[in-house]
Amino acid sequence: MPRVANIESVLYRIPLPVTLSDSTHGEITAFELITCRIRDVDGAEGVGYTYTVGRNGGAVADILRRELPPLIEGREADDTEAIWHHVWWALHYGGRGGPVVLALSALDIALWDLKARRANLPLYRLLGGFDARVPCYAGGIDLDLSVEELLAQTDGNLAKGFRAIKMKVGRPDLKADVAKVSAMRQHLGDGFPLMADANMKWTVEEAIRAARAFVPFDLTWLEEPIIPDDVAGHARIMQEGCVPIAAGENLRSLWEFKNYITSGAVSYPEPDVTNCGGVSAFMKIARLAEAFNLPVTSHGAHDITVHLLAACPNRSYLEAHGFGLDKYIEHPLVLQDGKALAPDRPGHGISFDWAGLAKLAA
CA distance linking residue 21 with residue 29, whole number of Å: 9
Identify the three-state secondary structure at position 82.
helix
Of the candidates 168, 180, 307, 339, the residue annotated as catalytic is 168
* Contact criterion met (CB below 8 Å) for 349 and 327: no
115 catalytically annotated: no
DSSP run (H or E) holding 340: strand 339-341
Say how many C-beta atoms besides its own lie within 10 A of residue 160's C-beta: 10
Of the candidates 234, 299, 302, 321, the residue annotated as catalytic is 299
Sequence-separated (6 or more) residues with CB below 8 Å from residue 258? 288
Beta bridge partners of 194: 165
* Contact criterion met (CB below 8 Å) for 199 and 25: yes
Q: Distance from CA of residue 109 to its chain's centroid?
A: 13
168 catalytically annotated: yes
Identify the three-state secondary structure at position 194.
strand
Sequence-separated (6 or more) residues with CB below 8 Å from residue 179? 147
3-state helix, strand, coil in the chain (%, to 5): 40, 25, 35
First to last CA, the chain: 35
Q: Which residues participate in catalysis according to the annotation?
A: 168, 299
